[in-house]
Amino acid sequence: MGIIRSSFSFMVGTVCGIYVAQNYKVPNIKKLANDVLLMAKRTEETYRKPKRRGDED
């Protein structure tokens, strides 16, 4: 009885998550994160200060 009681919220959350994923349009988080990183990289390259000749990394 202890294992059922301790994992009840996990099981309910899993069942609810499966229901929502099947019946509603849920965004793909991995694709969304990659798009945000791509936009951030593009913005950084656009607004980056030009390097001077004496600067070295």
The tens digit of pLDDT for each residue in 28-51 reads 899 999 999 999 999 998 888 777
Is residue 30 situated within a structural domain? yes
Integer Rg of the chain from CA: 23
Is residue 56 situated within a structural domain? no
Coil, strand or helix at 41 = helix
Is residue 53 situated within a structural domain? no
Is the pTM higher than 0.85? The answer reads: no
Q: How far apart are CA 37 and CA 33, in angstroms?
A: 6
Binned at pLDDT 50, 70 and 90, residue 55 comes out as low
The total number of structural domains that make up the chain: 1
- pLDDT on residue 54: 67
Is residue 12 situated within a structural domain? yes
Is residue 27 situated within a structural domain? yes
DSSP 8-state secondary structure symbol assigned to residue 24: S
Is residue 32 situated within a structural domain? yes
Which residues touch 26 (CB under 8 Å, ≥6 apart)? 20
Residue 25 domain boundaries: 2-47
Is residue 40 situated within a structural domain? yes
Backbone angles phi, psi at 8, to 5 degrees: -60, -45
pLDDT for 2-18, tens place per residue?
A: 787 889 999 999 999 99
